[in-house]
Amino acid sequence: MATENLNASSPTAVATESGFCGELAGHEFLITGFRTGNTEIYHVDPYTGDAKNLTRNPNSHQRYPIWSPSGDQFLFTSDRDGAYNLYLANADGSGVEQLTRQTDPSTVYFPSWAGDGTIAFGLAGPKAMVCVLSPDRQDTLALTEGRDPYLSPDGSQIAFTRWVESGYCVFTLDRRTSQVRQLTSHENPIGAVTPTFSPDGRYILYSDSVGETLEIFSFDLENDHSTRLTHLGQFATSPAWSPDQQWISFRLTDENFWNNPARGKAVHKERKGDKRPVWVMRADGSQPHIVEALRYQCGIDGSRAVWNPLGGRK
């Protein structure tokens, strides 16, 4: 099990002031936004601010987008059939196909897509399960109990989180051997861990509790060591790597509303424009700052701002 340093010195002790604009030129995001009232999936240029609604389904809610490894399609979840299920669409939003057919109260969330074609996702219901689609995409295969799954780039491992005794820790599942390995020992009672692999498969980003807040950490699989990246004193969640592994996007909010049902309902009803904006930082945690084009009207749920794997090289 890893050694962990929850209070290591970091260049993010003081957040960098606003003023960035060109550092993300050539990159693109998929995000959730609520500018239409419901949550939709938007394709956003963080440099110019241009945004296109890809899902355009005003009678439902769309969440948790993720690009295909080639960038020509994306996955998302939607409750358009009465329960949150997994859907596939072309990069321009056309050709929508429903991939799962769960019924309420089961909920599909946080899909990921590996280079070998494997699609994994979380299934919340009577039990929280880590699932994959069968190779023909006709069936849901439950692999192990856990939350927030994310596939390694080659599809050989799944990072996920599981409650231990007093909080959540990060685990991996080896898909070839079915062996489960616990990576972290610090138990996070807040949740919102959302682990995610780096493009080279060496690191796993995740959120962990520090006092009453959440900060982002990076776990080095080669050295079995965890490093704290943020010192923002709020709730930093849902990290995602840029394809060149130089930047990390994440969501930042000022309160843990998802563990308070009454407050959570009120927050979603308020739709405060800047409640959970998108931030970015360098891979080492330096230069954390808000993305001005994504300061307002981002979905209040924990969906990642995911980077186009083509990195603007279309």
Assess if residue 1 is contained within a domain.
no
Q: What is the pLDDT of residue 311?
A: 82
Q: What is the C-alpha to C-alpha distance for residues 11 and 213, in angstroms, rounded to an integer?
A: 18
d(CA 106, CA 103): 6
For 241-259, what is each residue's pLDDT tens digit? 999 999 999 999 999 999 9
Task: Provide the pLDDT for residue 18.
Answer: 52
9 in any annotated domain? no
Give the 3-state DSSP-derived string for the chain, with helices as H, strands as E and coil as C.
Answer: CCEEECCCCCCCCCCCCCCCCCCCCCCCEEEEECCCCCCEEEEECCCCCCEEECCCCCCCCEEEEEECCCCCEEEEEECCCCCCEEEEEECCCCCCEECCCCCCCCEEEEEEECCCCCEEEEEECCCCEEEEECCCCCCEEEEEECEEEEECCCCCEEEEEEECCCCEEEEEEECCCCCEEECCCCCECCCCCCCEECCCCCEEEEEEEECCEEEEEEEECCCCEEEECCCCCCEEEEEEECCCCCEEEEEEECCCHHHCHHHHHHHHHHCCCCCCCEEEEECCCCCCEECHHHCCCECCCCCCCEECCCCCCC
- Measured CA to CA, the distance from residue 251 to residue 215 in angstroms comes to 11
- Does residue 18 fall inside a structural domain? no
Question: In this predicted structure, what is the pLDDT of residue 22?
Answer: 86
Question: Does 214 map to a domain?
Answer: yes
Q: Which residues contact 261 (CB under 8 A, 6 or more apart)?
A: none
Per-residue pLDDT of the chain (314 residues; tens, 9 = 90+): 555 555 444 444 444 455 676 899 999 999 999 999 999 999 999 999 999 999 999 999 999 999 999 999 999 999 999 999 999 999 999 999 999 999 999 999 999 999 999 999 999 998 999 999 998 899 999 999 999 999 999 999 999 999 999 999 999 999 999 999 999 999 999 999 999 999 999 999 999 999 999 999 999 999 999 999 999 999 999 999 999 999 999 999 999 999 999 999 999 999 899 999 999 999 999 999 999 999 999 999 999 999 999 985 44
In a domain, 312, yes or no: no
The verdict on residue 5 lying in a domain is no
**Sheet architecture: strand order including 168-174:** 147-151, 157-163, 168-174, 180-182
Indicate whether 313 belongs to any domain. no
Write out the residue range of the structural domain in which residue 125 sits: 24-307
249 burial type by CB count under 10 A (0-12 exposed, 13-18 middle, 19+ buried): buried
pLDDT at 12: 42
Task: Look at residue 298 and tell me if it is in a domain.
Answer: yes
What CA–CA distance (Å, rounded) separates 117 from 166? 35
**Cβ neighbours for 101, distance < 8 A, ≥ 6 positions apart:** 81, 85
Give the pLDDT score at 16: 46
Q: How many domains does the chain have?
A: 1
The pLDDT value recorded for residue 8 is 47
CATH number at residue 289: 2.120.10.30
Which residue is associated with the tokens 């239409």? 36
Q: For position 165, what pLDDT does the model report? A: 96
In this predicted model, what pLDDT tens digit does every residue of 209-225 receive, in sequence order? Answer: 999 999 999 999 999 99
